[in-house]
Amino acid sequence: MILAAGRGSRMGHLTDHTPKPLLRLHGKYLIEYAIESFLRSDIREIVINVSYLQDQIKEALGNGEKFNVKIFYSEEDEALETGGGIFKALPLLGDDPFIVLSADVISDFQLLDLPKNPDGLAHIVLVDNPPFHSVGDFSLHGNQVSLALPTPYTYSNVGVYRKELFVNCRPGKFRLGDLLKKAVQEGQITGEYFSGNWHNIGTENQLVELCAKEIST
């Protein structure tokens, strides 16, 4: 699944008339990088949740044929945050563990390295705390994700999840991060540290800076 429903308000005027996933970086839509990550792992069926200016996204990507994938859309009348969006899309995701990426994250992490069947409710990829999130999210002890201080790692928005993680959830807005932290406290989340190239494009300045650099995917 690719998370693509939010407006991306921190991008300023760039998203006034264009949904954030369709902003361009080196000639590609941001969301194309996530699609290509799936393709490199031979994953060809992708669910994308859409809300803000969703018709533009559906028109640009279509059924996925032009990218050699099959795209299914989970439509949201209003953006349901990351957790609520995944929960709404569960009927499209099936019963097996599924990978979730964000449309605004670009990385050369290889999705084939993710476990197909995580030991707990999810397995997430962690990166060093970036300057915009210096407090971090988690610590890591072996492959067990923890909230114990200090928290030198940030959730990269890359992970594989079991639908059971959402068993007590209800329709509506909620954040995936809140759900993960609860499951971490219960010892249900494993993870790994990734030191490769990872870019979270949250602001116009971050996009401009990345446009001036070569990127590895």
Task: Enumerate domains of the chain plus CATH numbers.
Answer: 2-211 (3.90.550.10)
Q: Do residues 121 and 112 touch, judged by C-beta distance below 8 A?
A: no
pTM of the entire structure? Answer: 0.95
Plot region of 201 (φ>0 → left; ψ -120 to 50 → alpha; else → beta): beta
Q: DSSP of 21-90, one letter per residue?
A: GG-EETTEEHHHHHHHHHHHTT--EEEEEE-TTHHHHHHHHTTSGGGTSEEEEEE-SS--HHHHHHHHHH
| Pairing of β 122-128 and β 153-161 | antiparallel
- Whole-angstrom Cα distance, residue 207 to residue 213? 10
Here the tokens at position 138 are 């988690």
- pLDDT per residue, tens digit, the chain (217 aa), is 999 999 998 999 999 999 999 999 999 999 999 999 999 999 999 999 999 999 999 999 999 999 999 999 999 999 999 999 999 999 999 999 999 999 999 999 999 999 999 999 999 999 999 999 999 999 999 999 999 999 999 999 999 999 999 999 999 999 999 999 999 999 999 999 999 999 999 999 999 989 888 777 7
